[in-house]
Amino acid sequence: MEAAEYLDLLLKALLLAGVYAAMAVGMTVVYGVMKIVNLAHAGFLMLGAYFALEMFQRFHIDPVLGAVLALPAFFLFGMLVHWLLVRWLPKSDTPTLASLLLMFGFWLVLQNIGYAAWGNEDQSILTPLTLSAVHIGDTISIPKVNLVVFAAAVFCMVVLQIVFHRSWFGRSMRALIQNPYAAQIVGVDDQRTSRLTFGLGTAFAGFAGALLGMLYSFSPDFGRPFLLRSFVIIVLGGLESVSGVALGALVLAILETFSTVIPLPWYWHGWKTFYLPPSYQPVVPFALLVVALVIMPKGLAGLFQRKWKAA
Amino acid sequence: MKRPSGISGWLKLVLPWLLLLVLLLLPAAGLSFNLMRLLFLTAVWTTTSLGWNLLGGMTGQVSFGFAVFFGLGAYTTALLMHAGHSPYFGFAGGAAIAMLASFFIGLPTFRLRGPYFVIATIGVTEAVRVIMNNLDITGGASGYRITEDKPFNPLEHYYTAIVAVALAVLVSTIIANSKFGLALRAIKQDQDAAADLGVNPYTTKLWVHAIAAGLTGIAGGIYARRAAFFYPGDVFAFSTGIFILLMPVIGGIGTVWGPVLGGIVFVIVEEQISVNFPNFHLLIYGALLIIIILLEPDGLLGLLRRLFRLLPRQQAKTGLAGDPG
């Protein structure tokens, strides 16, 4: 393979990482503040994709705008879900049996609603953007839709960073992530912050789902592979860190993109190399998860922190 | 074991044996083919349900990945039978492979606090299904067929399943009444306190995971032998893992008889749903999970206890508010 082809793949991986980060960040804030592993995230991703599709087909709204519209809609939806279900869960420092099963049950309900409303055939959102590409030289061609989706994802991540570090809501979120008891003592309303956080997490899930729906075809079972990817990303990012998510997303996107084109060494009567068959590519996130858990359970950032502390 | 006291105590001691006796004698009384199939399925699923409950109910470690053990049991049994071994040797082999696989998941994740184990169990189902879909020796996605020289004998399948479920109940009862079971409950309630009192949470979780996986592997083998044909999208499906988790939650988590009740209810409901509401499977199960978690965390058994007050009250505190970290 030529250098230009590698560059082409690297660019595509970078663009993918933006969407991955937007997808995983909602799960991170919910886990950080409430210590809930939000399995319903997969359901919200799926609903986000169908939201953009409905907007596009019924009202002829451009799917990128549809994705942005998904933010407020899913924010309200998330707050409603929190008010109806999540707030009744017992509080804990670690994810409880009850919270896991509740969110899982809700995911099943969402999935079935998807099947009932849209059937089980694959759908996709096709706009003029989808089919045109930007060419640089002979080998590098980036679909325009990837660029637009990346720009939208990065924009929202930046907005989130500003909210997280410059607003009272962001400050109370960070306080709850660091120490929930101390946060309550100094006057953080944890119910209200939890509700807003769950809304925020859901909003980002819906937004990322709409963006992913522009890149891939989807069915009501759409969220499951992305749920696993989100897990891998937040584990790599250190579970509770928003900036860690960006790093984790980048690592996963690069490994996934390059997994089938990099020759892997193996030993059988002498060193040889082989290429991973493309059909095995879905195993890559899981393999990365296992490696991450064994080598660096505190995430990529934790690896550096340990070194700093030792110094 | 404690000496039984009062009528309910004696009932608790006698009823299981009576149930087993009835199940063993039923075929002699003449069973229709379909009823025998239903009882077989109930026994198989209840075995997996009891297995999940050891880890999820007693120890508080939620796993969405038991389909892996079920599928590995099925495939191991099939491959061993293909190699000319007896099916019973195949079941044992299935249990052994499932136990090995459980260590593969448990070793990296049980060391850590936090949600890592749950996350890994979701990942492992996906990964194993992808691998099995592409593996040549098992026929990949097109599935595997078991061929036996003997004619199809529903009675033998029925008795194997009954023996398996009896074994699962026995193992659960022994564990529930042993020091090991006490350690499991201690871990569920407060892992740090348990560790202070001399329980090693890491090895304890590893072993109970292995026992649970072994039971599920046996069930997978028995299921596969009767089904005679199966494929990765069936035995390794994420939904198989969901079913295995649903039954103990429906019946009553953390008890011995809750998962049994859940298994019975599940098979009956599943038969009805697949006939009457084929499109609302997930909705019904999802809603059921939500309702149980929010309103009656002890499941059907807790509900029955509340209705009849048959059993002493303090035992109804199995509770979901454990600490699975």
Q: What mean pLDDT do residues A201-214 have?
A: 92
Report the pLDDT value the prediction gives residue B231, as an integer from 0 to 100.
87
Mutation target vs A (from B59, B104, B117, B122; most A CBs, 10 A cutoff): B122
Residues B275 and B105 sit within 8 Å (Cβ to Cβ): no
- Interchain contact, B119 vs A108, CB within 8 Å: no
Q: How high does pLDDT run on average in chain A?
A: 85
Report the pLDDT value the prediction gives residue A235, as an integer from 0 to 100.
86
Q: What is the Cα–Cα distance from B309 to A241, expressed in whole angstroms?
A: 49
Sorting pLDDT into bands at 50, 70 and 90, what band is A301?
A: low
Chain B residues lying within 8 Å of A101, measured CB to CB: 62, 245, 249, 289, 292-293, 320
CA distances to A44, A213, A215, A223 from A111, rounded to whole Å, are 9, 16, 20, 9
Report the pLDDT value the prediction gives residue B4, as an integer from 0 to 100.
63
Residues B122 and A289 sit within 8 Å (Cβ to Cβ): no
Is residue B62 classed as helix, strand or coil in its secondary structure? coil
Chain B residues lying within 8 Å of A230, measured CB to CB: none
- Whether A209 has a pLDDT exceeding 50, the answer reads yes
Q: What is the Cα–Cα distance from B12 to A300, expressed in whole angstroms?
A: 53
**Partner residue opposite A95 with nearest CB, options B109, B115, B292:** B115
Report the pLDDT value the prediction gives residue B311, as an integer from 0 to 100.
52
As to burial, measured by CB atoms within 10 angstroms (0-12 exposed, 13-18 middle, 19+ buried), residue B88 is middle
Pairing of strands B229-230, B144-145: antiparallel
Report the pLDDT value the prediction gives residue A49, as an integer from 0 to 100.
93
Please write the tens of the pLDDT for every residue from A67-99. Answer: 999 999 999 999 999 999 988 888 877 778 888
Mutation target vs B (from A31, A37, A89, A97; most B CBs, 10 A cutoff): A97
Q: Nearest residue on chain B to A240, judged by CA atoms?
A: B114
- Whether A311 has a pLDDT exceeding 60, the answer reads no
Give the ipTM. 0.84
Please write the tens of the pLDDT for every residue from A113-147. Answer: 999 888 888 888 888 777 777 777 777 778 888 88
Q: What is the Cα–Cα distance from B201 to B324, expressed in whole angstroms?
A: 11
| Alpha carbon of A88: minimum distance to chain B alpha carbons (Å) | 7
| Alpha carbon of B174: minimum distance to chain A alpha carbons (Å) | 24
**Partner residue opposite A289 with nearest CB, options B123, B285, B323:** B123
Among B93, B85, B312, B320, smallest CA distance to B217 is for: B93
Q: Which two tokens stand for residue A10?
A: 């690297």
Q: What is the 3-state secondary structure (H, E, C) of chain A?
A: CCHHHHHHHHHHHHHHHHHHHHHHHHHHHHHHHHCCCCCCHHHHHHHHHHHHHHHHHHHCCCHHHHHHHHHHHHHHHHHHHHHHCHHHCCCCCCCCHHHHHHHHHHHHHHHHHHHHHHCCCCECCCCHHHHCEEEECCCEEEEHHHHHHHHHHHHHHHHHHHHHHHCHHHHHHHHHHHCHHHHHHCCCCHHHHHHHHHHHHHHHHHHHHHHHHHHCCECCCCHHHHHHHHHHHHHHHCCCCHHHHHHHHHHHHHHHHHCCCCCEEEECCCEEEECCCHHHCCHHHHHHHHHHHHHCCCHHHHHHHHHHHHC
Q: Nearest residue on chain B to A92, judged by CA atoms?
A: B323
Q: What mean pLDDT do residues A230-235 have?
A: 88
Please write the tens of the pLDDT for every residue from A9-43. Answer: 888 888 889 889 988 988 988 988 888 888 999 99
Residues with Cβ within 8 Å of residue A249, at least 6 apart in sequence: A17, A18, A20, A21, A23, A24, A233, A237
Mutation target vs B (from A82, A103, A104; most B CBs, 10 A cutoff): A104
- Interchain contact, B286 vs A286, CB within 8 Å: no
Is residue B143 classed as helix, strand or coil in its secondary structure? coil
Residues of chain B with pLDDT under 50: 314-319, 321-325
